[in-house]
Amino acid sequence: MTVQRINLNAEEIFQKQWLTYQTLLQEDYLEHRTLYEAVQSIILDRARKHPLRILDLGCGDSDYIARALEAVGGASVVESYTGVDLSEPALAISESNIHRALGSNDKATWHHSNFVTFSNSCQEDFDIVLMSFALHHLDEPSKGALLKQAQRVLSKRAGCFILVDLFRQPDESLPQYHERQQEEVTSMWTALSTEERSCMTDHMLKFDMPETHANMEALACAAGFTSVESVKEARNELSMVVLLKV
């Protein structure tokens, strides 16, 4: 694992939020189960030609991607798995989830790194770039710049970008989106304590900047992707899976 130095406060924040995030995964509040049915189908389809080189930006603990890989054949469909994240506790769990899915970690690499820095300097080629509930943390120009880097590392292998993320409805403003999101948290996220819920809603108001599908399509086309397709929407209409082809 490549380790970059980050300050202690940032690590403490990631550690604290990671424990809460694991409850979100266990309770399926972000609807990973539904959304990853689509991710799994895309991987299965792409793996028909040859084993895949997969880059997972903001991989977290890789819980759902590991389940998807295991379900479609594990090591037989994977040439390599590269996970990138700033959270050390999450990366440690990722290692054990990927080990379970692939039978060993011989084909896997992790980078404790900012995914913007990593993608800017990455010199490897990939079949799939996955970004799941992570791109919405960037502002619009940074999203565009990251999509350009993703397109670059996918272009030689005619790969695809699987974007699982929060999306605003057409014509929905960011404050309107946040209001809808806060209603969902208040009414549905009942397994969290009041303190955890308020920590999450604070985080969402500060850091969640989802695009509309139309904005994302424009950014993806400007980055060189030739096709942008919504393949699955969550029940709560807060997130979806979008497939970008080079």
Ligand X SMILES: C[S@@+](CC[C@H](N)C(=O)[O-])C[C@H]1O[C@@H](n2cnc3c(N)ncnc32)[C@H](O)[C@@H]1O
Nearest CA among 125, 107, 15 for reference residue 60 = 15
Q: For residues 47 and 209, give the distance between their C-alpha atoms in angstroms, rounded to a whole number.
A: 32
Copy the structure tokens of residue 62: 């890789």
Stretch of residues binding ligand X (CB under 6 A), selected from 52-60, 147-155, 182-190, 193-201: 52-60
Whole-number Cα distances in Å, 214 to 190, 221, 228: 33, 11, 10
Ramachandran sector of residue 234 (left: φ over 0; alpha: ψ -120 to 50; beta: rest)? beta
Taking CB under 6 A as the criterion, which residues in 150-179 touch ligand X? none
HSE toward the beta carbon, residue 190, CA cutoff 13 A: 2
Q: Residue count at the site for ligand X (CB under 6 A)?
A: 17
Which one, 115 or 225, has the nearer CB to ligand X?
Answer: 115
Q: Of these, 60, 89, 159, 210, which contacts ligand X (CB under 6 A)?
A: 60
Q: Of these, 29, 81, 110, 115, which contacts ligand X (CB under 6 A)?
A: 115
Q: Of these, 134, 162, 163, 246, which contacts ligand X (CB under 6 A)?
A: 134
Which one, 10 or 214, has the nearer CB to ligand X?
Answer: 10
Q: Of these, 6, 11, 13, 14, which contacts ligand X (CB under 6 A)?
A: 14
Which one, 15 or 76, has the nearer CB to ligand X?
Answer: 15
Q: Per-residue x/- mask for ligand X, residues 16 to 45, rule CB under 6 A?
A: -----x------------------------
Q: For residues 230 and 208, give the distance between their C-alpha atoms in angstroms, rounded to a whole number.
A: 20
Q: For residue 59, state whether it binds ligand X (rule: CB under 6 A).
A: yes
Which one, 23 or 221, has the nearer CB to ligand X?
Answer: 23
- For the CA atoms of the chain, what is the radius of gyration? 17
- Whether the Cβ atoms of residue 71 and residue 99 lie closer than 8 Å to each other: no
Which residue ranges make up the site for ligand X (CB under 6 A)? 14, 21, 58-60, 84-87, 90, 114-116, 132-134, 137
